[in-house]
Amino acid sequence: NAGVMQNPRHLVRRRGQEARLRCSPMKGHSHVYWYRQLPEEGLKFMVYLQKENIIDESGMPKERFSAEFPKEGPSILRIQQVVRGDSAAYFCASNRDRGNEKLFFGSGTQLSVL
Amino acid sequence: AQTVTQSQPEMSVQEAETVTLSCTYDTSENNYYLFWYKQPPSRQMILVIRQEAYKQQNATENRFSVNFQKAAKSFSLKISDSQLGDTAMYFCAFIKNRDDKIIFGKGTRLHILP
């Protein structure tokens, strides 16, 4: 049973470009969470999705950031018009049921904005 | 608002020694969950140990154990017989209930020296 898969592992973008980060949850998991880790910081919650629904996006910046988890395919975190401050590691976690007490994390995508 | 504080940014110990990582938190909740996550250089977030606040017994997982002091709001991690593979960032984390987002501390970078 493969773990949570995130790709790409590293993503380099120039300012103003778009970044798309993909997350395939563990098999049988329908709950996906995105967290962001700034340098020398802990992870911070961004958004919680179930299949086709955004449940909690209280940690998402109001502009330029969006997330989806379609019925088929991976969850996508999309950042439009990236800026240097978006440089961070973005982690996805999944769970079979609703609940954060036992999340399975991916290895993250390191986004670098030049 | 809940906060998690790790007062030791970095620590080094010799292989086979015992090391204790500190964590304090602030909450007005009576029931909650506490975690220690390990982040090795691969960046994978690995759950090391979990403690439910209503359980008085300290959680243990092989060489890893916690000292949970609920009144003092302290949750330290003890690693016995440390191994080179224990070298990683360690994050203390908190959720007030299963539906809540995880709040992470800033981490302690642990070096195990040969």
Q: Which of A44, A49, A42 is nearest to A23 (CA)?
A: A49
Nearest-Cα distance to chain A for B68, in Å, is: 17
CA dihedral (A6, A12, A14, A15) positive or negative: positive
Cα angle at A99 between B93 and B97, to 5 degrees? 60
Smallest Cβ distance to A100: which of B4, B46, B101?
B101
Q: Which residues of chain B have pLDDT under 70?
A: none
What's the pLDDT score for residue B1? 76
DSSP H or E segment with residue A12: strand A10-13
SS3 A86: helix
Nearest-Cα distance to chain B for A92, in Å, is: 10
Quote the tokens at residue B15: 């292989």
Interface of A with B in 13-42 (CB under 8 A): 33, 35, 40-42
The Cα B56–Cα B99 span in angstroms is 22
- The total of other beta-carbon atoms located within 10 Å of residue A26's CB is 16
Calculate the dihedral angle through the C-alpha atoms of B18, B24, B25, B29, rounding to the nearest 10 degrees: 80
Tell me which chain A residues have a C-beta less than 8 angstroms from the C-beta of B108.
none
Smallest Cβ distance to B98: which of A48, A100, A108?
A100
The Cα A34–Cα A44 span in angstroms is 9
Using a CB–CB cutoff of 8 Å, tell me whether B107 touches chain A.
yes
The Cα A64–Cα A72 span in angstroms is 24
Q: Which of A105, A81, A88, A98 is nearest to A17 (CA)?
A: A81
Tell me which chain B residues have a C-beta less than 8 angstroms from the C-beta of A105.
37, 44-46
The pLDDT confidence band at residue A103, using thresholds 50, 70 and 90, is confident
Residue B57: partners with Cβ closer than 8 Å, 6 or more residues away: none
What's the pLDDT score for residue A1? 53
The Cα B8–Cα B41 span in angstroms is 19
Tens digits of per-residue pLDDT, A78-101? 999 999 999 999 999 999 887 777
Tell which of A33, A38, A43, A112 to mutate to test the B interface (max B CBs under 10 Å).
A43
Report how far apart, in Å, the C-alpha atoms of B19 and of each of A76, A96, B12, B110 are. Answer: 39, 34, 9, 9
Using a CB–CB cutoff of 8 Å, tell me whether B101 touches chain A.
yes
SS3 B19: strand
Residues in a beta bridge with A95: A31
Tens digits of per-residue pLDDT, A4-53? 999 999 999 999 999 999 999 999 899 999 999 998 888 999 999 998 89
Residue B16: partners with Cβ closer than 8 Å, 6 or more residues away: B81, B82
Tens digits of per-residue pLDDT, A61-73? 999 999 999 999 9
